[in-house]
């Protein structure tokens, strides 16, 4: 997994919750995937697709692949930034997102991630092409990958 290049399309901020830690005193590793999801949702909203609408239209983005590289531990109360990057050409068929997690005041990533997806309807059937509700997501990349939100 390469370090993502370009500008992040969105930056999601969170504070580590107590119940995300384990007995080693650090965040349990599977929680990073929930954070990637939260960051992805923020990007989708920034692209103009509200949760309610998407639910109504029955457009889903199930995960078909997910990876995370852990560099340093996240701890209870840490303020984190999840930066989301997208491969523009992947959007129409199998959207690929990259993630970089930074801890406030550290200045370097504590984790990198990647998820791959397909577009599906509520019955789980594959959709082809970038759904209309998300067209603006594609245009985020106009003007040299400027940030959506």
Q: Which residues are catalytic?
A: 22
Instruction: Evaluate whether 99 touches 49 at the Cβ level (below 8 Å).
Output: no
Beta bridge partners of 113: 68, 99
At residue 98, the 3 state secondary structure works out as: strand
Q: Number of residues in contact with a copy of itself, rule: CB under 8 A?
A: 36
d(C-alpha 99, C-alpha 7), whole Å: 11
Query: Nearest distance from residue 138's CB to a copy of itself, in Å?
Result: 23
d(CA 66, CA 43): 18
Q: Backbone phi, then psi, for 130, in 5-degree steps? A: -70, 120
Task: Please report how close the Cβ of residue 38 comes to a copy of itself at its closest, in angstroms.
Answer: 7
Region of 4-12, 25-33, 93-101, 133-141 interacting with a copy of itself (CB under 8 A) = 25-33
- Please, are residues 29 and 67 in contact by the beta-carbon 8 Å criterion? no
In the complex with a copy of itself, the residue whose CB is nearer, 60 or 87, is 60
Residue from 3, 29, 56, 94 in contact with a copy of itself (CB under 8 A)? 29
- If binding is defined by CB under 8 A, does position 121 make contact with a copy of itself? no
Joined together, the tokens standing for residue 60 give 């889903």
101 is a site residue for a copy of itself (CB under 8 A) = no
Q: Applying CB under 8 A, which residues contact a copy of itself?
A: 17-19, 21-26, 28-31, 33-34, 37-38, 41, 51-52, 55, 60, 62-70, 73, 75-77, 124
């Amino acid at each position: 997994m390469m370090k993502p290049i370009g500008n992040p399309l969105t930056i999601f901020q969170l504070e580590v919750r107590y119940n995300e830690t384990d007995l080693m005193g650090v965040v349990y590793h599977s929680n990073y995937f929930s954070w990637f999801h939260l960051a992805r949702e923020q990007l989708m909203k920034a692209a103009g697709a509200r949760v309610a609408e998407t639910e109504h239209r029955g457009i889903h983005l199930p995960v078909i692949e997910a990876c995370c590289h852990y560099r340093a531990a996240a701890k209870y109360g840490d303020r984190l930034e999840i930066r989301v990057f997208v491969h523009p050409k992947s959007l129409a068929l199998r959207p690929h997102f990259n993630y970089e997690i930074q801890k406030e005041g550290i200045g370097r990533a504590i984790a990198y991630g990647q998820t791959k997806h397909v577009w599906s309807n509520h019955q789980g059937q594959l959709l082809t092409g970038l759904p209309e509700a998300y067209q603006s997501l594609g245009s985020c990349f106009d003007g040299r990958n400027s940030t959506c939100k």
